[in-house]
A and B are shown apart, each in its own frame.
Chain A
Amino acid sequence: MEYLARFLIGGLAVSAFALLGDMLRPKSFAGLFGAAPSVALATLAIALLQHGSSYAVAQSQATMWGAIALFVYSIAVCQLLIRRRWNALPATVIALVVWLSAALCLHLLLGASA
């Protein structure tokens, strides 16, 4: 039941931000919504209600490392699309390895000491 609620809340939050992003021009501005805190909002709200503020704060601290990894990921996707001339689907999926590596490295280097 908990995961169904997460699924519905997360799906609605993501759809709302995606819809807003679709309506905006130019595309580089609409791209800001590719990094919108839609999943973060839904998850942090549930974490706050279910586990309390210290749990939610621990999650949001880790989100900082995830956001830096997202920056690295986005640059990697740019490179694959423009320099390597890959299509969007393989570029965005393969680059997930970059995001995961960067996020876990930052977590191990900085997250443990935080």
Chain B
Amino acid sequence: MIVKISLSSLKEGHWYEYLVRFVLGGAATAFTGMISSRFGPSVGGLFLALPAIFCASATLLQRHEERRKREAGLRGQRRGQQAAALDAAGAALGSIGLLGFALAFTLLAERHAPMAFAAAVGAWAIISIAAWSVWRRTRVSGRTRIFRHSCAPSAKDAQRRFPNEQAATKSSGHSADP
């Protein structure tokens, strides 16, 4: 499946949802500063990977999916949970990228700070996208079952829920992503 940009998804959100994430993000950054001042940078640094924002994002995603299903006359709770689980699977892959970000910054920051930031962001993007691509391929081919059973709907479940995508799935070799 090709990655797409969907501007229409922005219309689904309310202004206060963006405010919640701004406040949570700001609070997490201020909190990290406090922890670093109190316990030192080696403890404070742990909180740079605090999933504070993820709680809000996953909850909003589930609500949006449920609302969409309700509008179609369905309950949608299960679909909302599955959408949030896919988001969590993505976050797991993104955390590998975050590890790369931290490693790149650690190796380069003492030599050239601006380059360290650029390399770290680049490492996060490349590693995250690569991990996601590998995950999708392995999920489709069924060679690994690590995420398949824990984080994503089964192929049988996906076919039941997305009958229209069955033919495309067979021809392209990609499974449906809700």
CA distance A88 to B9 in the complex (A): 19
* Secondary structure type dominating chain B contacts: helix
Chain B residues within 8 Å of A68, by CB? 95, 99
Chain A residues within 8 Å of B61, by CB? 27, 88
**Cross-chain contact A14 with B28 (CB below 8 angstroms):** yes
Chain A residues within 8 Å of B62, by CB? 87-89
CA distance A100 to B106 in the complex (A): 22
* Residue B5 CB within 8 A of the other chain: yes
Least CB separation from B174: chain A residue: A26
**Cross-chain contact B95 with A71 (CB below 8 angstroms):** yes
Chain A residues within 8 Å of B88, by CB? 31, 34, 74-75, 77-78, 81, 92
- Contact flag A29-B3 (CB < 8 Å), given A3-B30, A13-B25, A64-B103: yes
**Cross-chain contact A6 with B26 (CB below 8 angstroms):** yes
Number of A-B contacts (CB under 8 A): 342
Interface string of A1-13 (1 = CB under 8 A from B): 0110011111111
B90 to chain A, nearest CB (A): 2
When the two chains form the complex, which single residue of B84, B92, B93, B110 contacts A57, counting CB atoms closer than 8 Å?
A: B110
Q: Which 6 A-B pairs have the closest CB atoms?
A: A31-B90, A10-B29, A14-B25, A62-B45, A35-B94, A66-B49
21 contacts between A and B (CB under 8 A): A6-B32, A10-B26, A11-B25, A24-B3, A24-B6, A27-B86, A29-B132, A31-B93, A34-B91, A35-B51, A38-B53, A39-B28, A40-B98, A44-B48, A47-B36, A53-B109, A62-B45, A73-B51, A75-B88, A88-B61, A89-B58
Which residues of B approach A to under 8 Å, CB–CB? Answer: 1, 3-7, 9-10, 13, 18, 21-30, 32-34, 36, 40-55, 57-59, 61-62, 77-78, 80-99, 101-103, 105-106, 109-110, 113, 117, 120-121, 124, 128-129, 132, 135-136, 147, 150-152, 177-178
